[in-house]
Amino acid sequence: MDGATLAYKAQRATRYAITNNAEASEKPIVVYVDHQASMQHNGYSIVTSEDRVKEAAGFARFEKTLAPGETVVFEVHEEATYEEAWSMRNIRSLLTQPAARKLFFGATISEDIRTRLLTRLAQLNMEQFLKQLKQFSGLDRRTFAK
């Protein structure tokens, strides 16, 4: 194991409020709301489908009919999935930061993966220690395997 890849799922929402200020005697109006998804995290996808009349990658158009004096409030929800690669060296340095320790030792990472990563970190630490020891003493790993 040379590291880990963390998978994230991010969500966001944009709230729109539209009011038809026409007189009560006038007809309802149709309003179109063009929504552009966020480009963060390699681009969000729009997951709201209610009243959607057009869509393309990262874009959706919503249609709302409003009677005179009516206010409509609706939300457009977006999701993104993205990954972050952690090398063993990065994991070692990240574990010195409180937020990373909380993530690493929290429920986000399974016990099996956490154990494998910690075992590999211990192996790397031992290898580094043995390299330093060999530099100073001329001993190698086989000496300690006996």
Instruction: Summarize the confidence of residues 69-74 as an average pLDDT.
Output: 96
Dihedral angle sign, alpha carbons of residues 87, 88, 89, 91: positive
pTM confidence score:
0.63
> What integer pLDDT is reported at residue 64 of this predicted model?
97
Q: What percent of the chain has pLDDT over 70?
A: 77
Instruction: Summarize the confidence of residues 72-95 as an average pLDDT.
Output: 83
Instruction: Summarize the confidence of residues 69-86 as an average pLDDT.
Output: 92
Instruction: Summarize the confidence of residues 79-93 as an average pLDDT.
Output: 79
More confident residue, 26 or 140: 26
Residue 110 phi, psi dihedral angles, 5° rounding: -65, 155
Instruction: Summarize the confidence of residues 110-139 as an average pLDDT.
Output: 76
Asked whether residue 141 carries a pLDDT value surpassing 90, the answer given is no
Instruction: Summarize the confidence of residues 25-53 as an average pLDDT.
Output: 95
Average pLDDT over all residues of the chain: 83
pLDDT tens-digit readout, 114-125: 777 778 778 777
The answer to whether 79 touches 108, Cβ cutoff 8 Å, is no
The answer to whether 113 touches 4, Cβ cutoff 8 Å, is yes
> What integer pLDDT is reported at residue 100 of this predicted model?
67
Distance CA 27, CA 138 (A): 92
CB atoms within 10 A of CB 28: 12
Asked whether residue 107 carries a pLDDT value surpassing 70, the answer given is no
